[in-house]
């Protein structure tokens, strides 16, 4: 099929990548995004080789590599004394082994690349357009916006994130709090932080985890501090946090962690709850509506595979539509190709929280490591997998 009218609800990494894949396959695509402006929170994202294979298929790999940074390796350190427990190779070996690099990129830079590609392909975008509902009839799918307008199309793709309005027609259940919170900040790299920028990694310890990596040519350091928190009532992506809060949560952790906390700019230090979804049995309704990315399978971020999975979904959806004679067939192919893998990654991401935040950090070094690479996730090529 081609020449379909397709509506994508949500202009995040998943929605924009899906729009590009569907445009490249010869369809017309309109994106409705609830935010006033397209953009992304000031934070980085890791694109594993499986994500970059997807972008290679969409012809975006060169632009992304130009803005991103491929590390040589990542170190995993002990929370008390900072000693190295494990070194994970991430350099040229990735490209040789998987055909694509492992890289870090600022979310805003990735977003800008996606928006440029979308507009070059003739995609339409509407901001300040919150989808409140979706549905379908014999002839079309539709989304209803907050202003009451209904937009009909051949296909509706719900890529509207963990709190997806489109998903609410599948089940009455809301996203659940996973018990984890994340604090995020980006700091400029000076002499004292230079070593962290060249040697990205994690510091692991009981119920806590610190992740750091360079962005924008190594001029910035992306910092994420994870902690388990029993209760959480606040909601939002930009709840202000304080250095004191972090100092108390990470009391007793080694000097590098204290140094990173000291460098944070409180004006730009935010925290939020990690919410997730339980797996759905099916993603499609009436051959007219489907889900993608966090709307379909929001997971904890402990394998850095949430965005990568959304990118895989997007490429497979584009291919499934192109390869099929009608929409029910296309959505069945999409779902059959994606649902098992996405559900597996969801589960493993949850389990990885326990592996990375174990009471005994030393045990990390003692057993066979089970992570995104050893599980074979990097080798998945969404452009080649059978649909």
Ligand X SMILES: Cc1cc2nc3c(=O)[nH]c(=O)nc-3n(C[C@H](O)[C@H](O)[C@H](O)COP(=O)(O)OP(=O)(O)OC[C@H]3O[C@@H](n4cnc5c(N)ncnc54)[C@H](O)[C@@H]3O)c2cc1C
CB of 1 or CB of 280, closer to ligand X: 280
What 3-state class would DSSP assign to 117?
Answer: helix
Which residues in the 237-296 window bind ligand X by CB under 6 A?
274, 293-295
45 near ligand X (CB under 6 A): yes
Task: Give me the least distance between CB of 367 and ligand X, in Å please.
Answer: 24
- Active-site annotation holds for 334: no
Alpha-helix residue ranges (DSSP H) falling in the chain: 13-24, 49-57, 61-67, 92-98, 107-120, 194-198, 243-249, 255-263, 294-297, 306-323, 327-356, 363-366
By CB under 6 A, is residue 101 in contact with ligand X? no
Under rule CB under 6 A, residue 46 binds ligand X: yes
Rounded distance between C-alpha atoms, residue 279 and residue 342, angstroms: 9
Asked if 34 touches ligand X (CB under 6 A), the answer is yes
Q: Which is nearer to ligand X, 29 or 295 (CB)?
A: 295
Nearest-approach distance from CB 159 to ligand X, in angstroms: 5
Instruction: In whole angstroms, give the CA distance from residue 337 to residue 313.
Output: 9
Check binding of 161 to ligand X (CB under 6 A). yes
Q: Centre a 10 Å sphere on the Cβ of residue 252 and count the other Cβ atoms it contains.
A: 9
- Enumerate the β-bridge partners of residue 143: 134, 151
Q: Which of residues 297-316 bind ligand X (CB under 6 A)?
A: 301, 304-308, 310
Is 224 among the residues that bind ligand X (CB under 6 A)?
Answer: yes
Q: Is 289 exposed, middle or buried (CB count within 10 Å of its CB: 0-12, 13-18, 19+)?
A: buried
Tokens found for residue 188: 């400029």
Q: Is 214 in the site for ligand X (CB under 6 A)?
A: no
- Binding-site member from 15, 49, 205, 318 for ligand X (CB under 6 A): 15
Catalytic residue among 104, 136, 170, 213: 213
Report the interhelical angle of 306-323 vs 49-57 (nearest 10°): 30
Under the binding rule (CB under 6 A), the answer on residue 64 touching ligand X is no
Q: Which residues pair with 328 in a beta bridge?
A: none
Judged by CB under 6 A, the number of residues near ligand X is 32
Give yes or no for residue 158 binding ligand X (CB under 6 A). no
Task: Decide: is 357 part of the binding site for ligand X (CB under 6 A).
Answer: no
* Distance, C-alpha 287 to centroid of its chain: 26
In the complex with ligand X, which residue's Cβ is closer, 1 or 312?
A: 312
Catalytic positions: 213
Q: Which residues bind ligand X (CB under 6 A)?
A: 9-15, 32-35, 45-46, 130-131, 159-161, 165, 182, 224, 274, 293-295, 301, 304-308, 310
């Amino acid at each position: 099929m081609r020449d379909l009218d397709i509506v994508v609800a949500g202009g995040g990494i998943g929605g924009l990548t899906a729009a590009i894949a569907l445009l490249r396959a010869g369809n017309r695509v309109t994106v409705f995004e609830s935010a006033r402006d397209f953009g992304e929170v000031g934070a980085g994202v890791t694109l594993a080789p499986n994500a970059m294979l997807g972008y290679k298929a969409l012809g975006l790999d060169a632009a992304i590599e130009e803005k991103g940074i491929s590390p040589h390796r990542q170190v995993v350190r002990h929370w008390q004394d900072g000693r190295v427990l494990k070194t994970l190779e991430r350099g040229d070996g990735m490209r040789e082994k998987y055909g694509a690099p492992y890289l870090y990129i600022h979310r805003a830079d990735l977003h800008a690349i996606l928006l440029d590609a979308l507009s070059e392909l003739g995609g339409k975008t509407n901001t300040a357009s919150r989808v409140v509902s979706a549905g379908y009839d014999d002839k079309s799918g539709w989304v209803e916006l907050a202003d009451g307008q209904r937009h009909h199309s051949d296909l509706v793709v719900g890529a509207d994130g963990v709190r997806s309005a489109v998903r609410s027609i599948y089940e009455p259940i809301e996203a659940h709090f996973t018990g984890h919170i994340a604090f995020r900040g980006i700091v400029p790299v000076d002499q004292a932080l230079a070593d962290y920028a060249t040697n990205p990694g994690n510091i692991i310890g009981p119920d806590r985890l610190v992740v750091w990596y360079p962005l924008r040519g190594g001029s910035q350091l992306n910092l994420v501090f994870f902690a388990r928190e029993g209760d959480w009532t606040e909601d939002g992506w930009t709840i202000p946090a304080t250095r004191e809060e972090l100092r108390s949560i990470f009391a007793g952790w080694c000097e590098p962690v204290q140094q990173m906390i000291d460098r944070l700019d409180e004006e730009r230090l935010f925290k939020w709850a990690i919410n997730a979804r339980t797996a759905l049995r099916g993603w499609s309704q009436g051959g007219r509506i489907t889900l993608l990315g966090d709307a379909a399978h929001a997971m904890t971020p402990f394998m850095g595979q949430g965005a990568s999975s959304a990118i895989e979904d997007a490429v497979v959806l584009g291919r499934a539509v192109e390869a099929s004679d009608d929409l029910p067939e296309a959505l069945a192919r999409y779902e059959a190709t994606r649902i098992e893998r996405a559900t597996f990654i969801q589960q493993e991401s949850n389990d990885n929280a326990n592996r990375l935040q174990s009471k005994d950090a030393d045990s990390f070094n003692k057993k066979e490591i089970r992570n995104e690479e050893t599980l074979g996730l990097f080798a998945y090529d969404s452009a080649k997998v059978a649909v």
